[in-house]
Amino acid sequence: MWQVVFTEPNGKRRRRHFSKKEAAEKYHKAILTQAKIAGTSGLVMDAEARAEYFAAKRALEGVPLMTAVRHYLKHRPIGAAATPLPEALDQFISEKKRLGRAERTVTALRNTLEQFLAETEARRCCDFTREAVTKYLDSLDVEPGTIKNHRRRLSAFGSWMVRRQIIPDNPVRHIEPPTVDLRPPRVLTPAQASLVMAKAADYVDGTFATTFALALFAGLRRGEIERLSWDAVHLDGEPVIRVSLGKLRGRRSVRVVPICDALLSWLKWGRARGHPLVKMSSNSAKIRKVVTWQTDITRHSWISYRLAFVKDEAQVAREAGNSPDMIYRHYFQLVSEKEAAKYFAIFAP
């Protein structure tokens, strides 16, 4: 009887018995060869484990295996970082709703984030990386301004995850935003604005007329119009509209917008017919089709003509809920005083 004895790296002794000397010597030689190639730890590795080890060494291309292991242990997704992204997204949106963010803002955030999930392979919070976000933004076939908006929403989500200690850093901070060409905003001419209001007065018995008048002659944002009620509209004395919960926050979120004579005539015209102050519906698209429409064109028009009329960017900024610098840079000398006079002379029939 022949015996081969060796000690494993964990200190455990192993024994193998052979009836013939040749078999024992062959096994002993195989152990020595294996130890020479893979080290003594290789004595307890099966064929699959050894193959995996050498494959890892080749893939690392010279990087020590323990260096790679330490890097993985430092950055591996544990705890909150392993949270499924859809779950984190729902928590983020729920918090925005609870904090009273505008419905349009919440919807835009959700749409961007859900599109990001659909277009990328990101499934966990740790997958929300610079590479994933960059790949998503590069895939968007839209204007630079729209890409900038997507980047801003993704950054808001990333900052939220950092505050919740889900991820250590917001990767979107390291992505350069696109350059947006600040072209002058497009406005409706007095003739086009008159055409819009004539169509509004004629369509469905003028149900939408006061809604379009508020946009054209008070410059209110869509969200502000949606929340407006007669309680905020004061027609007696000095006619004004008290706008709250606008785009700005804090004390500046409440502002007073003057009601010009044209708007006053449309508000009285609509109220005399028993029409609602505000009616939001996709049916109003037929009114917009009488001219070439563009997002925020009514607000851009009112700010432009109002600035030409009063010649005071600080005053228009207060009334519009913008900064004076924004008003001056985008709307100064965009239209003439003569055109402004025609614009504010579009009265109800």
What CATH number is given to the structural domain containing 328? 1.10.443.10
Structure confidence at residue 138 (pLDDT)? 93
Structural Rg of the chain based on CA atoms:
35
Structure confidence at residue 77 (pLDDT)? 56
Residue 180 lies in a domain: no
Residue 184 lies in a domain: no
Report whether 19 contacts 1 (CB < 8 A): yes
Residues 167 and 195 in one domain: no
- Taking only the tens of pLDDT, the chain with its 349 residues reads 778 776 665 556 778 888 888 888 887 777 776 665 555 444 455 667 667 777 777 887 888 877 876 766 555 555 677 889 999 999 999 999 999 888 888 999 999 999 999 999 899 998 999 999 999 999 998 888 889 999 999 999 999 999 998 988 999 999 999 887 767 788 999 999 999 999 999 999 999 999 999 999 999 998 889 889 888 999 888 899 998 755 544 444 678 999 999 999 999 999 999 999 999 888 899 999 999 998 889 999 999 999 999 999 899 999 998 888 888 877 877 899 999 999 999 999 9
Residues 237 and 299 in one domain: yes
Structure confidence at residue 75 (pLDDT)? 58
Amino acid at 224: E
Structure confidence at residue 183 (pLDDT)? 72
CATH number of the CATH domain containing 137: 1.10.150.130
Write out pLDDT tens, residues 176-235.
Answer: 998 877 677 889 999 999 999 999 999 999 999 999 999 999 999 988 898 898 889 998
Write out pLDDT tens, residues 63-100.
Answer: 887 787 676 655 555 567 788 999 999 999 999 999 98
Residues 250 and 311 in one domain: yes
Residues 199 and 314 in one domain: yes
Report whether 91 contacts 134 (CB < 8 A): no
Structure confidence at residue 249 (pLDDT)? 46
Residues 159 and 216 in one domain: no
Residues 67 and 89 in one domain: no
Residues 141 and 223 in one domain: no
**Any residues with CB less than 8 A from the CB of 345 and at least 6 apart, and which?**
190, 262
Residues 65 and 109 in one domain: no
Residues 147 and 60 in one domain: no
Residue 348 lies in a domain: no
Domain that holds residue 29: 2-76
Please state the pTM of the whole predicted model: 0.60
Residue 104 lies in a domain: yes
Residues 241 and 125 in one domain: no
Domain edge (last residue) among 174, 205, 225: 174
* Helix, strand, or coil (residue 207): coil
Distance CA 286, CA 207 (A): 13
Residues 254 and 278 in one domain: yes
Q: What is the number of domains present in the chain?
A: 3
Report whether 125 contacts 80 (CB < 8 A): yes
Domain edge (last residue) among 174, 200, 228: 174
